[in-house]
Structure 1
Amino acid sequence: MLSRRFLLGGAAAGLIAAPALGAAKKPAAPGKGFVTVKDGRLMLDGERYRFTGANLWYGAWLGSPGATGDHARLKRELDRLKALGVTNLRVLGAGERSPAKAAVAPTFQEKPGVYDQDLLKGLDVLLAEMAKRDMKAVIYVNNFWDWSGGMPAYLNWVGNGPWFQQGDPAHPWPEFPDYSGRFYGDEKANALFRRYLIGLVGRQNTVTGKAYRDDPTIMAWQLANEPRPGGTEDFGNKNLPTYYKWIRDVSAIIKTLDTRHLVSTGSEGSMGCLHSETCVVEAHKPDTIDYLTLHVWPNNWGWIDVKNQPATYAAGEAKCREYVTRHIALAKSLNKPLVIEEFGLIREDRAFVPGSATADRDRFYKTIYSLALDDMKAGGPVAGTNFWAWNGEGRAQHPDAWFVHGDKSFVGDPPQEEQGLYGVFDADASTKAVIAEHAAAVSAL
């Protein structure tokens, strides 16, 4: 029973008929309300565009008229974020059914070519509500990690395997990133991905009647969440030419379909690029990539020990400062803007409960915000920040705080993590104050 879902008969059926691909069009002036790039800086209507943002990957799920939908909550969350001064949201615009236990369901693509019209409508609703609040969206259209399906799901669909779940003890790290990195060179998997991508970029919003490519609410399309060339140097280095080509090819497809919006990679920086700044530069060199992205995860990278955070915080923070500073220099070398679009830190004692101690996190947020603000004041390439992530009124539904298929109280922590690990709840007063203070300082510029 497909109900609102149905099997595609063509490249873009069920999303919207996409324009034919051909030679890239000469970009026209995007028009009022569109974010653009000029002289290595983000611009909006002739002025520097600077922002304080958040990650809200689940926005389309709340906007959906289907089982996951909660339109009233979506509006409340957007109002809360707007009140904090948040004006830019990074959201997920794709998802593929994954066999992984810790994966979101339902998804935008339940089977190859079977698209969930409720979630697509949910994305329409999200963009319409954001437009009412003068917010901008960055929409990522794939995922290196399996919590939303992503590249591993495409590989599984085409039989490039054997598939295994991230974190499977039988496949210790870094087997997973080497496996996911196969995606870039798998033509069958990419054909499925491109079919979805072409339809999404060519979609018409069912709420506003506006074509996505004509909607200034969208700031940028993003190729994927944290696309890496691989995990090991052996596999990753051999895969680099394929990885670079994939970035060029997919960004060119988007620019051919949509001449008005920016395109970004979703890269973490050198930590997601075989620890190589050269890799970062090469990945962001194409003219079809408009700005650099940066993620900062000191717990995940072992810079701040989750089991001994107080004692390791200072040294870890110093590494984060250096990491951000180095990538600002890379952005300058390419004369392109930089967005710090993910950063986070666990609560004290690795707690997940709303309102629990966040002194270390607040200090970390202040560090990232100060680095961004200082560069903005100096006229540098940093355009904005998006903390990871907004939980709002969402709450863990189970005592162990793990997501279970069917849960509807979405939070910013994806299913691969405990619900509340990194996200900011509506009850986290001190962290919200830090965000609001920074947003006011950015607005004052």
Structure 2
Amino acid sequence: MRLRGALALLLLLCIHGGRQGAAAGRDGFVRVQGTRFVLNGNPFFANGFNAYWLMSLGADPAQRGKVTSALGQAAAAGLSVGRTWAFSDGGGNAALQYSPGRYNENTFQVLGRTHSSATRSPLCQRLCLLRFLAFFALFVRELMRSRLFFSPVFIRLQGLDFVLSEARKHGIKMILSLVNSYDSFGGRKQYVQWAREQGQSIGSDDEFFTNPVVKGFYKNHIKTVLTRVNTITGVAYKDDPTIMAWELMNEPRCPSDLSGRTLQSWIAEMAAHVKSIDGAHLLEAGLEGFYGASTPSRATAANPSGYQLGADFVANNRAPGIDFATVHAYPDQWLPGLDAPSQLRFLGAWLDAHVADARGALRMPLLVAEFGRSRRDPGISGDQQRDAVFGTVYGRVYESARAGGPAAGALFWQLLAEGMDSYGDGYEVVLGQASSTAGVIAKQSRRLQGLARAFARASKHKQGHTGKGGN
């Protein structure tokens, strides 16, 4: 009787989730129109944040409140876009993908498909309910025998589902990054290690971009994430308008090939793979913005010294399937020997160069996908220098956007909720505890929201004038 009651409750939850999924379909996908983002035909600006930790805490029922709190505070500050990790590779049971292609994903996909069938007609509901109960009784028996139900992997898979569900409630679009360039959370290094364990002879981690076995592992991960059915909303990720865009890699670099050809080929191949599965969402490469061989004068004049790392801002963003360009900005990391005013001057010139190239060479929107200023550096006290960096970035974005340019928004690194001191890296912003910086952020939200409304009114006026016979 207990099992029967649990199954009935689970089925009701699935049906309720599917209704939520239908509602989510009305929210609209972010699109690209020229050098601008649009949502439901209106200009869309991305004032937002990074929060890499969302999936990890979303997988822990005891910590989920922090996800809800952070997203609620972000929405209250007018933030419209968040960026987070859709990866956690290797590292045992705590990982999302604990070995190549191993996610324990089939269970969730079956539940999603069963519900989709069960909502079609009364007869189909009854037939699918019987099939569901028969299958699930067998599943529960095997699940309890295997003790998988208590595995962190099983629970972690629901973490990102929860994040997307909460983001939708708060009206926040999400950018999901699919793999890391660095070792944290597995990254390229973990994929290469998996291939070595299967007998592949691989030299450096840069062979992530060229080894067929490694590329196969990564393509499988892409397919798994994009086709996942959210266990809370009942919506497949590839159909979920809560997701603004996919990101191929967090900060791709290939220092073994400074020509940029290796990374260029990989971006083109993986972009085609993403688009073959999901034609609804936008896609970006995850670039930091370093210039390469296609623009040698820019590489010399704009890049920080020593930061030619096999990426090429202009060429990489011209790869078929890439919908918008990204740039990151960390002058305190890249130019630690300069004083704060000199770092700000570099920051302004860095952003100006990328805005100009997004407008001219690329003709696509530009998103400042990461920026920040550490408060742990010697001589830093209070929020003044951090606020100056935020103000410089926000000012460049707003001026470009107001002039009809390509700068479409900026995402600061990183947003935390209260009680997350162990996640602090010096760049963290807790909106409820950083009144000065929170004010700078909220002001930018208001400016961009006002700009979007003004553009929307102007567009409607123009359409009405044209409809009445105007030129």
Q: Please, what TM-score do these two structures have when normalized by structure 1?
A: 0.76
Cα distance, 1:351 vs structure 2 = 9.1
Match of 2:275 in 1: 255
**Quick one: which of 266, 286, 289 aligns to 1:246?**
266
**Quick one: which of 177, 185, 195 aligns to 1:148?**
185
- 5 Å matches for 1:189-268? 189-230=214-255, 235-237=256-258, 240-268=260-288
**Quick one: which of 318, 321, 346 aligns to 1:288?**
321
Asked whether 1:344 is paired with 2:369, we answer no
- Conserved 8 A contact 1:201-1:257: yes
Match of 2:436 in 1: 430
Asked whether 1:35 is paired with 2:41, we answer no
- 5 Å matches for 1:64-213? 64-65=59-60, 70-97=63-90, 106-115=94-103, 116-159=153-196, 179-213=204-238
- Conserved 8 A contact 2:48-2:412: yes
Structure of greater Rg: 2
Match of 2:144 in 1: none
Cα distance, 1:196 vs structure 2 = 1.4
Cα distance, 1:118 vs structure 2 = 2.2
Cα distance in 1 for residues equivalent to 2:185 and 2:26: 34
Match of 1:366 in 2: 391
Cα distance in 2 for residues equivalent to 1:118 and 1:62: 11
Cα distance, 1:98 vs structure 2 = 5.0
Structure 2 counterpart SS, 1:371? helix
Cα distance, 1:182 vs structure 2 = 2.6
Cα distance, 1:180 vs structure 2 = 3.6
- 5 Å matches for 1:35-74? 35-65=30-60, 70-74=63-67
Structure 2 counterpart SS, 1:391? coil
- Conserved 8 A contact 1:348-1:360: no
Read off the aligned partner of 1:375 and give its amino acid letter: S
Unpaired runs of at least 5, structure 2:
1-24, 104-152, 198-202, 293-298, 300-306, 452-471
Distance 1:76 1:188, change over 3 A: same
Cα distance in 2 for residues equivalent to 1:251 and 1:32: 25
Q: Which runs of 4+ in 1 moved over 6 A?
A: none
Identity of aligned residues (%): 30
Cα distance in 1 for residues equivalent to 2:244 and 2:181: 22
Which structure carries more helix by proportion? 2
Distance 1:295 1:153, change over 3 A: same
Structure 2 counterpart SS, 1:221? strand
Cα distance in 1 for residues equivalent to 2:310 and 2:207: 22
Per-residue CA deviations over 1:127-185 (Å, capped at 9, x if unaligned) read 0111111110000000101111111111122229xxxxxxxxxxxxxxxxx94433101
- Conserved 8 A contact 1:90-1:138: yes
Distance 1:285 1:56, change over 3 A: same
Read off the aligned partner of 1:424 and give its amino acid letter: V
Match of 1:322 in 2: 349
Cα distance in 1 for residues equivalent to 2:44 and 2:27: 13
Cα distance in 1 for residues equivalent to 2:373 and 2:27: 37
Per-residue CA deviations over 1:80-115 (Å, capped at 9, x if unaligned) read 11111111000100111259xxxxx82211222332
Structure 1 counterpart SS, 2:312? helix
Read off the aligned partner of 2:156 and give its amino acid letter: L
Structure 2 counterpart SS, 1:392? coil
Q: Please, what TM-score do these two structures have when normalized by structure 2?
A: 0.72
Read off the aligned partner of 1:108 and give its amino acid letter: L
- Conserved 8 A contact 1:344-1:388: yes
- Conserved 8 A contact 1:33-1:44: yes
Cα distance in 1 for residues equivalent to 2:394 and 2:400: 10
Cα distance, 1:280 vs structure 2 = 1.2
Read off the aligned partner of 2:196 and give its amino acid letter: G
Cα distance in 1 for residues equivalent to 2:329 and 2:412: 10
Cα distance, 1:263 vs structure 2 = 0.4
Per-residue CA deviations over 1:304-354 (Å, capped at 9, x if unaligned) read 44xxxxx701111111111111111111121110000100111164599xx
Cα distance, 1:284 vs structure 2 = 0.6
Cα distance, 1:60 vs structure 2 = 1.2
Structure 2 counterpart SS, 1:236? coil
- Conserved 8 A contact 1:121-1:206: yes
Distance 1:275 1:326, change over 3 A: farther
Structure 1 counterpart SS, 2:249? coil
Read off the aligned partner of 1:86 and give its amino acid letter: L
